[in-house]
Structure 1
Amino acid sequence: MAIESGTWEMTSSDNYGEYLKAVGVGMIQRNLAEKAVPTEELTTGDGPWELSHTTQLKAWKVSFTLGEPFDQVTEDGRTAKSVFVRDGDKLIQIQKIGGDQSQVIRDYSPTGMTVTYAAKGITATRVFKRL
């Protein structure tokens, strides 16, 4: 399956709070993020791609060109250097904040998306259904 524009809603989450702790997100924001049920929207095309992440409390959007590093402000206000690359049905984001690095892999299927987060030996998984 090719990565296509669409909207997905989270249906399950495993170990996400521990991942957020590993990447330095504070306790209050971690607790709020763990309780939220996000929706993600991806817009693909010939120009920059856009990825938005929306919860009941917060929304963020990032525009990027595959393979080109860019500065990104994280949901908790930190500045990161990010790059997105495509590997088949997977959209892989490498994010660096200071000397730390994390990886987010979005694996798309016709009916959903599985997102795997990894940093400092901690892995989390969130499953989304396609809307």
Structure 2
Amino acid sequence: MEKFIGVWKLVNAENFDEYMKAFGISDEWRNIGHVLKPKMIISQDDDTVVFDVESLVANQKISFKLGEEFQSKTMDGKDCKVTVSLDGDSLIEVSKWDDSESCNVYMIKDGQLIKSMSYEDIVAVRTFEKV
């Protein structure tokens, strides 16, 4: 978990527009999503992990314990149940709602935080560099 701790700034996004479309995000919000360069702050206090995502438009902060399900929101605002677990060198975040599921996989590669996001048959990749 230690290698994920820090402040990360978005430097690249691949296929993010298609990913947002799959969630039904409007053209207006997708356009905003392309220009935002969010900062992700990952911290840990004992067994509680905190993901704090900051941008000019909105901030989101979630706290959780690895392997324990918690309540959150999907990209389009739906209530969902989320579980984050550490699997080898990756953090795996699985969100479930209605009959749907999305999965985010976080890895450190060449000093960058790589976030692979999958929903339905769409995969987007967001790359962050440590600040």
User: What is the TM-score when the length of structure 1 is the normalising length?
Assistant: 0.89
Query: What is the aligned length?
Result: 131
User: What is the TM-score when the length of structure 2 is the normalising length?
Assistant: 0.89
1:71–1:82 Cα contact (<8 Å) kept? yes
Indicate the residue corresponding to 1:47 in structure 2: 47
How many angstroms does 1:64 deviate by?
A: 0.6
What amino acid is the match of 1:57? V
2:54–2:60 Cα contact (<8 Å) kept? yes
| CA distance, structure 1, for counterparts of residue 77 and residue 15 of structure 2 | 22
Indicate the residue corresponding to 1:101 in structure 2: 101
1:69-84 counterparts in 2 under 5 A? 69-74=69-74, 76-84=76-84
How many angstroms does 1:103 deviate by?
A: 0.5
| CA distance, structure 1, for counterparts of residue 34 and residue 97 of structure 2 | 21
2:4–2:113 Cα contact (<8 Å) kept? no
How many angstroms does 1:39 deviate by?
A: 0.7
Indicate the residue corresponding to 1:38 in structure 2: 38
| Per-residue deviation, residues 37-60 of structure 1 (Å, max 9, x unmatched) | 111010124231100111111110
| Per-residue deviation, residues 54-74 of structure 1 (Å, max 9, x unmatched) | 111111000011111111024
1:10-49 counterparts in 2 under 5 A? 10-49=10-49
How many angstroms does 1:31 deviate by?
A: 2.1
